[in-house]
Every structure is written in structure tokens, then in C-alpha cells.
Amino acid sequence: MARIPAAPPLDGLKRQIDRHRRAKPGGSDGLFVRETFRLERAAARDKARQWFDAWPKAAYWTEVESWRLLDGDQVEFTMRRLPTAD
């Protein structure tokens, strides 16, 4: 019977992601405008909806770039869009 390997620990990956985020605040690569939020779940949905209403996806490539659930029904997420619709 084949043995299923254990999942690798994620602590090292989490530290690496945190270091990267601190080294490049806002993830500024010059092409996109990014903003990170930490809000209650309902407020997070409202904030994302505001972004999509203000900067439509078709023109600004607006998207939720990343998100994660935190304790206390909090959501941390990063919104990304182009600076202009040109």
C-alpha cells in the first residue's frame, strides 16, 4: 500500500512572503495600482464592490489580486488595477 507523504510545513513560506511584502510595500511594479485592506467580511465585500464600480474591470483590469481569511471573520485582501483606462 502506497504511503501518502505529509504536507510540508508552511511556516517558511509564510516568512518568505512576509519578507517580500515588507521589502516591496504595495507591490509596486510600476504597472498596477495596488491597495491592501483588512476588514470584516461584509465590509470587505463592499470595498471590493466599490473598486469594481469606480474602476470597471474591462477598462482597468481591476481584480482581487490576493486574499486570506483571518481570525475574527476578518479578510485581508489586495485590490489591483491599472492607473488609467488608456
Q: What is the pLDDT of residue 30?
A: 66
Q: Are strands 33-40 and 63-70 parallel, antiparallel or unpaired?
A: unpaired
Number of C-beta neighbours around residue 68 at 10 A: 10
**Domain ranges in the chain?**
33-86
Grid coordinates representing 28 are 509596486
φ and ψ of 57, to 5 deg: -55, -40
Q: What is the residue-level pLDDT of the chain in tens, covering all 86 positions?
A: 677 777 777 787 777 777 777 776 554 556 899 999 999 999 999 999 999 999 999 999 999 999 999 999 999 999 999 998 87
